[in-house]
Amino acid sequence: MKKSLFLLFTCLLSLNLFSQGMNFEKNTTWEKVVAKAKAENKLIFVDCYTTWCGPCKKLDAEVFPNPEVGEFFNKHFVNLKVQMDTTKNDSEYIRNWWAIGQEWHKTYGVWAYPSFLVFDSNGEIADRGVGFAPVPQFLEKGKALINRDNHYYPMKKKYEEGKLVGADLPKLAKRALDAYDRNFIGIIGPDYLSKESNLLTGDNIRYIIQMNPKMGTKYFNVIKDNTAKVDEVMERKGTAENFLFRTAQVNFISKLAPNKAGTEANWTAVADSLNLYFPEFAEKYTIKAKITRANALRQWPEFSANVQTYFEKYINEVDFMQLNSYAWSIFENCEDENCINMALGWAKHAASKDDPMILDTYANLLYKLGKNSDAITTQEKAIAILKEKGEDPADQQITLEKMKKGEKTW
């Protein structure tokens, strides 16, 4: 009997060890992590996350606890989590990593989250990645990372030393794009693109956008002079326009109409500059600039009035996800019924695409206006679509339960 119980306990223990997800080092230091990697001849996988990052939390909930992910990453990596933002509630342990997090942010250009840094067993940077991926794709990325001959940073070093053979240039350029290495994209971009015969492919358009070329330059004009083609290739209306507007924002709008309380916006000068550089988009971009400034300064009546003008003037050109973002800003921040009703109209128009995220926004606005029955029906539709896509509707389900109980969802 004792022997049977011992065997049962051993089996359960083994099953528990096998079924656990990724094992992240706790209460440690960088020196200890490197020493462990060296002793076990493993790579170091670092999850760079922030407290406000939704996709980071999604990884924590859906990917890192997965047994298959845990088995693979625990075998090949020493795993570590480093918080990249700072908050007043951070524990002493997290505070001890602040300096390293800031150093990695500057040295490796970690701008987007979640980001992943991979180091070799000596603590030298080897590779990087960015963004949420479901379990199958995350495992695929992990398997690619253990091929040390294909690591990004050694390849990048060869390029910087002039030793990268021509055939590897497109490969490195694509890796830089996938890694969201913005600083290096600006360096390798002109070299890579100069050898491309067709600049209007999906990869090359993404490259130009990430390069942030200066106004008036060859690669800037590729987007400016081919806006319809760019949108067609990228399969998203507004891709070219968003790039051009962002460029105008950086170059002169932010100086003439700063998003800073207590400053005056010179809208005449903004319109004049837009007419000089983007005459075909000047009126539209002026309205968008007013929307951006009002959003930054939390001037919600002005924000909603300008979005409404934009919506009415450019209804056939509007980007649905951008419209959804505008509507969500009103839902979260404005209590004025007039503003909320305007936002409801934008969300209703965007919801015609049956996108679950847009439906969620529409449902929340309906609920905030007291239209509970319509809100619940719309939220249930959003959840059903997510389930059909095989995506987790947990957040939307929580919202639905609050609606049914009459609790606030904002």
Q: Are residues 55 and 120 in the same domain?
A: yes
Place of tokens 């995350």: 138
- Kindly state whether residue 383 falls inside one of the protein's structural domains: yes
- Kindly state whether residue 288 falls inside one of the protein's structural domains: no
176 Cβ neighbours under 8 A, 6+ residues apart: 152, 156, 184, 185, 188
Q: Are residues 134 and 223 in the same domain?
A: no
pLDDT value of position 12: 41
- Kindly state whether residue 226 falls inside one of the protein's structural domains: yes
Q: Are residues 266 and 311 in the same domain?
A: no
Proportion of the chain above pLDDT 70, given as a percent: 95
- Kindly state whether residue 85 falls inside one of the protein's structural domains: yes
CA distances from 341 to 177, 238, 239, 344 (A): 41, 25, 28, 5
Q: Are residues 27 and 116 in the same domain?
A: yes
Q: Are residues 309 and 248 in the same domain?
A: no
Q: Are residues 219 and 117 in the same domain?
A: no
1 pLDDT higher than 90: no
Burial of 103 from C-beta contacts in 10 A (0-12 / 13-18 / 19+): exposed
Q: Are residues 267 and 334 in the same domain?
A: no
CATH of residue 98's domain is 3.40.30.10
Please say whether the beta carbons of 201 and 233 come within 8 A. yes
16 pLDDT higher than 50: no
Higher-confidence position of 43 and 2: 43
CA distances from 153 to 63, 100, 126, 142, 190 (A): 26, 19, 5, 16, 19
169 pLDDT higher than 50: yes
9 pLDDT higher than 90: no
Q: Are residues 265 and 306 in the same domain?
A: no
Q: Are residues 140 and 78 in the same domain?
A: yes
243 pLDDT higher than 50: yes
Number of structural domains found in the chain:
3
Q: Are residues 146 and 206 in the same domain?
A: no
Q: Are residues 207 and 322 in the same domain?
A: no
- Kindly state whether residue 248 falls inside one of the protein's structural domains: yes
Domain final residue pick, 94, 125, 150? 150
- Kindly state whether residue 166 falls inside one of the protein's structural domains: no
- Kindly state whether residue 165 falls inside one of the protein's structural domains: no
Please say whether the beta carbons of 381 and 392 come within 8 A. no
CATH of residue 376's domain is 1.25.40
Q: Are residues 268 and 305 in the same domain?
A: no
- Kindly state whether residue 344 falls inside one of the protein's structural domains: yes
For 184-241, write each residue's pLDDT tens digit.
998 999 999 999 999 999 989 999 999 989 888 999 999 999 999 999 999 988 899 8
CA distance 68 to 54: 23
Give the domain extent around 356.
301-410
